[in-house]
A and B are shown apart, each in its own frame.
Chain A
Amino acid sequence: MAVDITFKDVAYTYQAGTPFESQALHDINLTIAEHSFTAIIGHTGSGKSTLVQHLNALLKPTSGTVTIGERKITPETNNKHLKPLRQKVGMVFQFPESQLFEETVAKDIAFGPMNFGMEATVAAKKAAEMLTLVGLPAELLERSPFDLSGGQMRRVAIAGVLAMAPEVLILDEPTAGLDPAGRREIMGMVERLHHEQHLTVVLITHRMEDVANYADHVVVMEQGTIAKVGRPQEVFQDVAWLQARQLGVPETTEFAARLQQRGFKFDQLPLTEAELAAALAPQLPREVVSQQHDE
């Protein structure tokens, strides 16, 4: 079954009908295609997290329609029978390690699949499989999740979501607070899942390098609505526009933009180091290049 996700005129208001009501989203029209890798960027409070909570019906729109595969979610949708949907759309929240609660890592990973009706023995096998997938050694299976390091806990939590075998994986800043190595490992894992298992990935991030390296689609959120949608190559061309929104661009792109001011020419601002090198090489004087090779 294809799981395309479509937002049509979606608005969401927190605490509607009280003096505390605040509009978090308005005029959202968006399609997230199957097998795509969508990055959502935007300022803190721009509505990113609220937006993704509509993807598995944790929140229902105050007006408008969200279509997830064949399910239509409207403001009138009943809260029951959403389970099949939540199995298809796996969600990794910010700091997901706070959702761990079981006595052992194995039990915690098996918790999700068992809620969706998987046999205990099958779920246990699945847990072991998932632990390897997130790059943790099998001997952790019988340990308490609270004995692990922060990075390990996070990977166990992610394994717990992956064990539900979702078709869409939502990650809300999965690398926040991790060291560079941990960050690379998590992002590498997400990339693998996207390529090998053809998961549709939706990633909220503040790291433009991740957007440049992994995403094929970017959504820029601003004050509760979508300010720009496009391929990273398109979105990152307008350096000034992004910086005015305090979002910035990948370091490489920023560097290239500075080179451009000094007279270098780019058809399109490069996003990654490889692209930069390829674009720069023909423009450098030959002697300099050969000299560097000699050294």
Chain B
Amino acid sequence: MMNKLLLGRFIPGDSLIHRLDPRNKLLLSFYYIGIIFLANNWLTYLVLFFFTLFAVYLSNIKMGFFIRGVRPLIWLILFTVLLQVFFTRGGTTYWSWGPIVLSQFGIVNGIYIFMRFVLIIFMSTLLTLTTPPLSLADAIEAILKPLRVVHFPVYEVALMLSIALRFVPTLMDETEKIMNAQRARGVDFGEGNLFQQMRSVVPLLIPLFVSSFNRAEDLATAMEARGYQGGEGRSKYRILTWQARDTWTVLVFGLLTGVLVWLRA
């Protein structure tokens, strides 16, 4: 089961992308999703395509991981693409049946949408594959910091996020262990009709809840025993520093934006 869950999986490495400041990576990933909407013709999509491919190449991570990142969303993508293809009118119409048409614009739009999905997924997969989850939590904390002015509980949210991320692998191990124990008692997970499958989840979920609550209590006690105090004045173990390479990547993204604005129709 661990084999399948790639989303949010960090792959250790020492590439340029790995070494970028997580705050920078996070913000640029969002920025990228924004500028993808600038693309509206073949040339701009081609530029974005090669830009993304180059970023993937820089990360030193095998292409297979990125393609596997697309897989869980493939039905959503296909659904959206088919909607675009069959309900867009314009240009030459090749075929039609009632409200459904197959037109030139439809096909082109479908391809654009598909590209948009794949590029966004690639870029966000790149972010999660090259950034340790805890660094990502740090980055989110740093980015949310200004919200303290409006009394948003930044530290608490960041702590919750770090704890949640920290316990994902633990919970997955636990799940696997309990699944095995129930399998040994004759439960078939993922077999039979919907009702049977739903029922087979109960012997898994209840033990998981029980152990999560126990774990939460233990963790709280351990934190209190060590005098944890959140909020103002707490120093950090991992300190994020902005490097020259971060400035350069920002410039490259600026350049990309310029190129897209210049080339778009």
Chain A residues packing against B (C-beta within 8 Å):
15, 18-20, 53, 56, 58, 80, 83, 86-87, 90-91, 93, 96, 98-101, 111-112, 115-116, 146, 160-161, 164
Minimum C-beta distance from A83 to chain B (A): 6
**Nearest chain B residue, comparing its CB with the CB of A146:** B210
21 inter-chain pairs at a CB distance below 8 angstroms, sorted by A residue, are A15-B2, A15-B3, A20-B2, A58-B184, A83-B186, A86-B185, A86-B186, A87-B186, A90-B184, A91-B184, A93-B177, A93-B180, A96-B181, A98-B174, A98-B207, A98-B210, A98-B211, A99-B182, A112-B185, A146-B210, A161-B184
Q: Which residue of B lies closest to A84 (CB)?
A: B186
Chain A residues with Cβ below 8 Å from B11 are 19
In the assembled complex, the Cα of A91 lies from the Cα of B180 at a distance in Å of 9
Which of B180, B184, B186, B206 has the most CB atoms of chain A within a 10 A radius of its CB? B184
Q: Specify which of B177, B180, B187, B206 is in contact with A115 (CB 8 Å cutoff).
A: B187
A160 touches B177 (CB 8 A): no
Q: A18-B3, A98-B211, A101-B202 are in contact. Are A93 and B185 (CB under 8 A)?
A: no
Q: In the complex the two chains form, is B203's CB within 8 Å of A101's CB?
A: yes
In this complex, the interface size class of chain B, counting residues with CB under 8 Å from chain A, is 20 to 34
- Name the CB-closest residue of B to A112: B185
In the complex, residue of chain A having the shortest beta-carbon distance to the beta carbon of B189: A79
Query: Do B207 and A101 have beta carbons less than 8 Å apart?
Result: yes
Chain A residue at minimum C-beta to C-beta distance from B183: A58
Q: Establish whether residues A115 and B210, one from each chain, have CB atoms under 8 Å apart when the complex forms.
A: no
For residue B178, CB closer than 8 A to chain A, the reply is: yes
Q: Mark B186-224, 1 if CB is under 8 A from A, else 0.
A: 111001000000000011001100110000000000000
List residues of chain B with CB within 8 A of the CB of A83: 186, 188
Please give me the residue from chain A that is nearest to B185 by CB atom: A112
* Cα A93 to Cα B203 with chains together (Å): 15
A24 CB to closest chain B CB (Å) equals 13
- Given the known inter-chain contacts A18-B3, A80-B191, A98-B178, please indicate yes or no for A86 contacting B203, CB distance below 8 A: no
What is the bound-complex CA distance between A111 and B185, given in angstroms?
A: 8
B184 lies within 8 A of A86 (CB): yes
A99 to chain B, nearest CB (A): 4
A-B interface, 5 closest residue pairs, ranked by CB to CB distance from nearest: A115-B186, A101-B206, A112-B185, A99-B181, A91-B184
Chain A positions within 8 Å of B177 at CB level? 93, 98
**CB of A56, distance to nearest CB on chain B (Å):** 6
CB contact between A100 and one of B180, B183, B184, B207 (< 8 Å): that residue: B207
A58 near B185: Cβ-Cβ < 8 Å:
no
Partner of B185, one of A19, A20, A161: A161
